[in-house]
Each structure stands twice: as structure tokens, then as C-alpha cells.
Amino acid sequence: MKTFLITGASTGIGAETARWAVEAGYRVALAARSRDKLDTLVAELGGPDQAVAIACDMTSAADQQAMVAATLKAFGRIDVAFANAGIGSTAAGVENGDPENWRDMVLTNVYGCALTAKFCLPELRKTKGHILLTGSQAGRFPNKGSVYGATKWAVTGLGFNLREELVGSGVRMTLIEPGLTDTPFFDQARPEGLTAADVARAVLYAVSQPPHVDVSELLVRPTPPRDDP
Ligand SMILES: NC(=O)c1ccc[n+]([C@@H]2O[C@H](COP(=O)([O-])OP(=O)(O)OC[C@H]3O[C@@H](n4cnc5c(N)ncnc54)[C@H](OP(=O)(O)O)[C@@H]3O)[C@@H](O)[C@H]2O)c1
């Protein structure tokens, strides 16, 4: 049975992707800092035969090495790694931005993502697996003064550079680039956005293609509102 490791699995896009992955027949390794939420999700997904909860801070290389070791201990292999954990801005723009928050975003969104790739790749090479990174629409288009967007441009670059590094390995790379998505990423509900399920469906689309098909990036955005007369 194939194993799907997901970072940022405690809420939002990561948690929903875990549900879709189990439905598609994967066992899932769920990583985030909130162990209580991960434990609840493991129970929902069918218990330890289906899922394992791994408390992990993505900004720590030691934690991420332990995350991979715990996944292998539970399930023996990694077929899909979804580097999805990320945080947003606490204040808009550069001039009014908070440098502490910038450091946290760089460490979580960029450094954390690269660590996930580094420690999962040896296992993905064995399984000829698939790595996916959650970038963003904000990593594809200019976004006024957004340091968050700059971290996602870095994720875009990391993804395409990884793809080059993986040429000949059989390992596929997909950038998942959501537009506005209604998740706990925001303090307020955002009903005008995508649902986490809309993004999870895109993830499962990418990983369910035949081995010769490499879906390099999926930019998924809400349909613009209609101009009704
Ligand atoms: N929502 C949107 O509109 C949107 C659009 C484009 C891209 N994205 C990206 O999508 C990804 C998922 O976000 P989401 O919308 O699903 O938001 P979310 O519900 O807030 O999920 C973020 C996840 O990342 C985890 N996380 C954050 N910092 C972490 C750390 N240091 N170590 C381990 N885990 C950490 C959180 O878990 P813990 O707090 O339990 O650690 C949580 O599981 C992020 O990369 C985000 O940038 C979101």
C-alpha cells in the first residue's frame, strides 16, 4: 500500500488532502505542530493502520528528519510527499510589515519546504514517487508589497529547480498553486474562495496520472464572479 506524507496536515488544505488520499487508497503520514488535531484526524481516517500523527516543527531540520524516520517506521515507504505547511503575513506590505513574521515565513514556507524535499527525496527515489509543493497564486503574479508572496515565488523556484535535479530519477514534481482558499489560514471565513476540497482534488489529480505524465504546476483559482445584469 502506498504512503502519502503531508506536512501542514492538521487543518485546511493538508487535512482535506489526507481525507482524499485515504479515500484513494493511500496510507497517510500527517505532520504539523498540533498533535491533538493530528490525533483526531488519525481517528477519523481509520486509526493506526491508515494514518500516523507526527508532531513536527517544519523550521527544524532535526524534526523533519525524525518525521521521515517516523513515517518509515510506521509504513516502511514514502510514495508521495506533499510539502504544504505554510504561514501568512501578520501585516501587509514591506513598509508596514513585521520582520519577525518575515523570518517565520521564510523559515516555514521556504526553508521548511526545502527540508521536506531534502529528507524525503532518498525515499522517493526508491519508490519513483512524487513530490508536491504548495506554492500559491501569490508565487506566480505580483502582489503589492507582499513578503508572503516573495516566499511563494521562492517555492515556485524551488519546485522547478527540483524538477531539474530529479531528471532521470522517475520522481515527479508538482507545484500546487491555490488562489484564495477558505481555510484557517484566514481569521475570517472567506466563502468567495475555493474550498480545501477543491485544492485536494487538484492534488489527487496530479498524483493519479500515469507515470509518464508529469503535471508540473496546477494554478487553481476561484471562478471570477459573474457580471449579472
Ligand atoms: N488559504 C489560502 O488562500 C492559500 C492560498 C495559496 C496558498 N496557500 C498555502 O497553502 C498551504 C496550506 O495552508 P491552508 O490554507 O491549508 O492554511 P492552514 O489551515 O492555516 O494550514 C497551515 C498548516 O501548516 C501547518 N504549519 C504552519 N507552521 C508550521 C510549522 N512551523 N511546522 C509545522 N507545521 C506548520 C499548520 O499546522 P500547525 O499550526 O498545527 O503546526 C497547518 O496544518 C500553506 O502553504 C499556504 O501558504 C493557502
pLDDT tens-place string over residues 29-53: 999 999 999 999 999 999 999 999 9
Q: pLDDT-derived band of residue 209, with 50, 70 and 90 as boundaries?
A: very high
Residue 229 has pLDDT above 80, yes or no: no
Using a 6 Å cutoff on CB, does residue 10 contact ligand 1? yes
Which of 13, 140, 155 for a ligand 1 pocket mutation test, highest count of atoms within 8 Å of Cβ? 13
Averaged pLDDT for residues 197-202: 98
Give the homologous superfamily in CATH for domain 3-220: NAD(P)-binding Rossmann-like Domain (3.40.50.720)
pLDDT in the model for residue 160: 98
DSSP state of 107: I
Please name the residues in contact with 104: beta carbons below 8 A apart, sequence gap of 6 or more: 59, 87
pLDDT in the model for residue 226: 79
DSSP lists the bridge partners of residue 4 as 28, 80
Cβ 167 vs Cβ 210: under 8 Å: no
Which atom belonging to ligand 1 lies closest to the Cα atom of 180? 3
pTM of the model: 0.98
Catalytic residue, from 26, 111, 148, 205: name it: 148
How far, in Å, from the CA of 122 to the mean position of ligand 1?
25
Domain-by-domain residue ranges, the chain? 3-220
